[in-house]
Structures are given as structure tokens and as C-alpha cells.
């Protein structure tokens, strides 16, 4: 009990505590509990709650392909990643960053979250990527930082971006998403998140919002053979979900390489949603509607959640705890799940 209370007071204000523990803590002076749904984004690196940006579908577009970049405005995708990294040949890096900078203005009204994936800290190319894209009249609101292996790389990134951003850009803050792509990165994930969160609070330049699993680099790093059922990646996927959710971050699942196998893609997307991922990377527009559906609650589920919350509120007024709804016993964990469903439905406009 003392450990849970200490965690709540000093670290995890939005931690979901067991029903019994919550009832005990509610009787302790100066202890106020909150039931923040996963979708009402709150993390260690963000002192002020900000509007939840759904990233069910995360589509990569090569930064040097202006034709493909202009097409994204017509797609029903949550997040578009304009790529300076693996999707661009080494001799086209300069072209990619300059093309992205010139296209950001035309994408300003796009409903998708327009993200720029820069090159890794260790590549020697990241600083030039940052300088060019942040000189744009419409700088990116979200950055994706790949191949993060150690907390020191987050510190180096923060120092570089602090020198590059204008005072106005510093005040506006951008969203940061990191990528885990190696065994070392996976083992250091907790420390990376803690370092990024600490720097987000102290420097106030960005908010840490999510973690993406770079599965192909990870497989190469550990010597695994990539399969469609992804059994070789089960441990890594579970650890990424656990670390991300512990700090209220989004967790974005692996790429499905065989983009023509839509049945296999759907199966993996639905599996990822059941595991706890909040979204999935896509490499072809044909994958977008499948992944959006997999990571969205159905209208029937939204209706169930809405009615359950209404029933819960009525029972709370009468001073009752657990209650029966739709023939099942309901307690706080199920109510929290219902609130998460309603929050996600509101974020993606499901009614």
C-alpha cells in the first residue's frame, strides 16, 4: 500500500489502480485520484494535457517523391510520415529534406498528422534534416526519431533541436515519437522514455507521445527470420506495449511487408489491437481502411460503453459500487475500459 501511494503521489498521477486500493486511497487525506482514459493523452513528459491525436494508421511516404506526398491529402489516414531515413537512398537525402520542407505548406490543411522522420542521431545526417525542415514556413508539428538505442541519444537530439528552433518554435512545442529497432534499444526502452520525459519537462520543447516498433531492423539485429505470424517478435511487441502504456504513450505496431496479402494484414492488425497497440504502420494506401477499422471501436461497442457510463453515474449518485449492467457485474476496471472506448470514438468521430 505504501508503495502504491508513493507511486501515485510522486510519479503516476493517472495510474489505474485496483478498485479496492483506490477506495482505500480515497480515504487518505491529500490523495486525489484521477481516471484518465488512455485516449486523453497524459504522459510523464507532458504537464499539460493536450488533445489526443489518433494514430491508428501510420503511413510512410519517401521524402523525395513529391508526387506521392501530394497524394496523401486524399487519403483517410491518421498519420503521414514524410521520410528522410530508410525510405530514401543515401544519394537522395538532401533532395528528400528539401522536398519535404517545400511541401509542408501545401499539407498544412491536411486532416492527418503530418510527421517528419529524420535520420538517426548516430547517422550524422539528423542535424541537417532538422535545420532544413524547421526553416520551412510551416515546420512539422510532429517528429519521428528512429533507431533510438540509449538515453544519451535523446539528450543529443534535444541539444541539437534546442539550437535549431527559433524562439517562436520553442514556444509552440512539437510532438515527438521514438522508434525502437534493436535489441539494445528494446532493453533500454524504459530509460529512453524516462530521459525523453525528463527533457520534455525541463526544456519544454516537445511532448513525448509514442513509441514505434521498427520490426525489420530489429529482426536483422537479433538474427530472427521474419514470418507473417510474427511469433519471433512476440516478446518485443509485448514489452513495447507495456513500457508505452506504463507512461501513457501510444504504441505503434510493426509493418506487414506483404502489402498484397490483405487478409494476413487484417489478421495481424486485429491481433495487435487485442494486444494493446494503439495503431499500426502501413506501407500502402490499400492497408489504411483495414487498420483504421481494426483500431477503432465498433458503433455497437461505443453504444454499450456510453450506456454503461451513464448507468455507472446513476449508481454512483446512489452510493453503490459494483453494479449489474447488461447481465454482467461491473466494477471500476470495466468502467475505465468504457471511458477509453468513448474517448477513442470521439477522437476518430465514431458516433
Rounded CA gap, 215 and 179, in Å? 10
Q: Tell me, what DSSP letter sits at residue 4? A: H
Report the predicted TM-score, pTM, of the whole model to 2 decimal places. Answer: 0.81
Rounded CA gap, 266 and 270, in Å? 6
**Residue 288, pLDDT above cutoff 90:** yes
Residues 83 and 103: beta-carbon distance below 8 Å: no
**Residue 42, pLDDT above cutoff 70:** no
**Residue 80, pLDDT above cutoff 70:** yes
> Residue 80 burial (CB < 10 Å; 0-12/13-18/19+)?
buried
pLDDT bin (cut points 50, 70, 90) of residue 218 is very high
pLDDT of residue 36: 33
Mean pLDDT for 148-163 is: 98
Mean pLDDT for 237-258 is: 97
pLDDT bin (cut points 50, 70, 90) of residue 351 is low
pLDDT of residue 196: 98
**Residue 199, pLDDT above cutoff 50:** yes
**Residue 1, pLDDT above cutoff 50:** no
pLDDT of residue 79: 98
CA angle 214, 215, 218 (to 5 degrees): 90
At residue 198, φ and ψ (nearest 5 deg) are -65, -45
pLDDT of residue 325: 87
Give the list of residues 6+ apart from residue 170 with CB closer than 8 angstroms, or none. 162, 204, 205
Mean pLDDT over all residues of the chain?
A: 86
pLDDT bin (cut points 50, 70, 90) of residue 10 is very low
Active site residue 331: yes
Mean pLDDT for 148-166 is: 97
Q: What is the dihedral of CA 124, 125, 131, 135, to 10 degrees?
A: 180
Mean pLDDT for 317-339 is: 82
Match 526553416 to its residue by C-alpha cell: 135
pLDDT bin (cut points 50, 70, 90) of residue 107 is very high
Name the percent of the chain lying above pLDDT 70: 85
| Marked catalytic residue, from 14, 86, 216, 331 | 331
Rounded CA gap, 165 and 159, in Å? 10
Amino acid at each position: 500500500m505504501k508503495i502504491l501511494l508513493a507511486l501515485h503521489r510522486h510519479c503516476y498521477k493517472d495510474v489505474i489502480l485496483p478498485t479496492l486500493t483506490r477506495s482505500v486511497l480515497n480515504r487518505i487525506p491529500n490523495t486525489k485520484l484521477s481516471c484518465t482514459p488512455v485516449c486523453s493523452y497524459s504522459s510523464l513528459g507532458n504537464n499539460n494535457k493536450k488533445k489526443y491525436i489518433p494514430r491508428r494508421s501510420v503511413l510512410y511516404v519517401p521524402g523525395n517523391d513529391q508526387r506521392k506526398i501530394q497524394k496523401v491529402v486524399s487519403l483517410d489516414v491518421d498519420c503521414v510520415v514524410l521520410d528522410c531515413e530508410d525510405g530514401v537512398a543515401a544519394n537522395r537525402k538532401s533532395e528528400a529534406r528539401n522536398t519535404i520542407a517545400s511541401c509542408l505548406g501545401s499539407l498544412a490543411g491536411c486532416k492527418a498528422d503530418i510527421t517528419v522522420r529524420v535520420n538517426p542521431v548516430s547517422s550524422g545526417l539528423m542535424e541537417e534534416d532538422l535545420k532544413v525542415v524547421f526553416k520551412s514556413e510551416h515546420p512539422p508539428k510532429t517528429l519521428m526519431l528512429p533507431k533510438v538505442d540509449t538515453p544519451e541519444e535523446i539528450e543529443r537530439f534535444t541539444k541539437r533541436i534546442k539550437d535549431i528552433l527559433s524562439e517562436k518554435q520553442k514556444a509552440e512545442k512539437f510532438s515527438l515519437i521514438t522508434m525502437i529497432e534493436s535489441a539494445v534499444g528494446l532493453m533500454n526502452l524504459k530509460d529512453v522514455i524516462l530521459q525523453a520525459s525528463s527533457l520534455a519537462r525541463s526544456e519544454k520543447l516537445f511532448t513525448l507521445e509514442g513509441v514505434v516498433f521498427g520490426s525489420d531492423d530489429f529482426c536483422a539485429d537479433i538474427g530472427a527470420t521474419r514470418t507473417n505470424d510474427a511469433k519471433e517478435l512476440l516478446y518485443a511487441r509485448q514489452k513495447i506495449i507495456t513500457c508505452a502504456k506504463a507512461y501513457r504513450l501510444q504504441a505503434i505496431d510493426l509493418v506487414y511487408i506483404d502489402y498484397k496479402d490483405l487478409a494476413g494484414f487484417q489478421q495481424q492488425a486485429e491481433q495487435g489491437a487485442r494486444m494493446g497497440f494503439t495503431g499500426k504502420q502501413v506501407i500502402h494506401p490499400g492497408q489504411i481502411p483495414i487498420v483504421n477499422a481494426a483500431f477503432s471501436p465498433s458503433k455497437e461497442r461505443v453504444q454499450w460503453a456510453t450506456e454503461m457510463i451513464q448507468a455507472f453515474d446513476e449508481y454512483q449518485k446512489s452510493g453503490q459500487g459494483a453494479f449489474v449492467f447488461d447481465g454482467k457485474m461491473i466494477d471500476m476496471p470495466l468502467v475505465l475500459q468504457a471511458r477509453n472506448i468513448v474517448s477513442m470514438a470521439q477522437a476518430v468521430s465514431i458516433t
